[in-house]
Amino acid sequence: MTEPGAVDLIHLEDSDGDHCIVRVIGRYKHGVLPTHNILQAEVLAHASFFDARLELYLLQQDLDAWQQELTGLAPGTGASIGGDRGLNLVLHMQEDQSLDVTIHDPDRLSAVLWIGPQENLIEKHHERLEQVRRTWPETAPITYEWRPPQES
């Protein structure tokens, strides 16, 4: 079975060309039970002062936390994804609806981008999250044995 194509979980871009994209590219180890529900993503970030492509691994609880924080995103608040396992991405909304995007990868870089206001940011990103979940649904976490489909 082949993996589906990439899906952007986060896609922030402004008129200056600055952007931060979290693109889910598939399961970390498709078919290997302990890691089957871990999603592999790449963070693509660009501003006039840097261009980066970083790896991010997402657990189902990361997606749940992202959904909850995204729902509460408003001026003066933030939402993050990535946790404390490595790369961490934090969005902080300003009063004018612009975003300060902090990217912190302890092994590679720390940077802050400013992304101009986005129309329907929260709704669009909830839709992106649902697309990721439809593309890579969580399998039963208590399954201990991988069985290939039975042939008829």
Instruction: Enter the tokens of residue 18.
Output: 């600055």
Question: CATH number for the domain including 34?
Answer: 2.30.31
Q: Which domain holds residue 44?
A: 7-135
Answer whether residue 123 is part of any domain: yes
pLDDT of residue 1: 47
Answer whether residue 147 is part of any domain: no
Answer whether residue 145 is part of any domain: no
pLDDT of residue 143: 53
Extended strands (E) in 28-127: 39-47, 50-58, 78-81, 88-93, 99-105, 109-115
For the stretch 42-86, pLDDT in tens is 999 999 888 999 999 999 999 999 999 999 999 999 999 987 778
pLDDT of residue 148: 61
Number of domains comprising the chain: 1
Answer whether residue 141 is part of any domain: no
Burial class of residue 12, CB neighbours in 10 A (0-12, 13-18, 19+): buried
Burial class of residue 7, CB neighbours in 10 A (0-12, 13-18, 19+): buried
Answer whether residue 75 is part of any domain: yes
Answer whether residue 61 is part of any domain: yes
Answer whether residue 20 is part of any domain: yes
Percent of the chain with pLDDT over 70: 85
Window from 35-39, 75-79, 83-87, 141-145 with minimum mean pLDDT: 141-145
pLDDT of residue 108: 84
For the stretch 105-120, pLDDT in tens is 988 889 999 999 889 9
Answer whether residue 121 is part of any domain: yes
Q: Could you give the angle at which helices 60-71 and 121-135 cross, rounded to 10 degrees?
A: 160
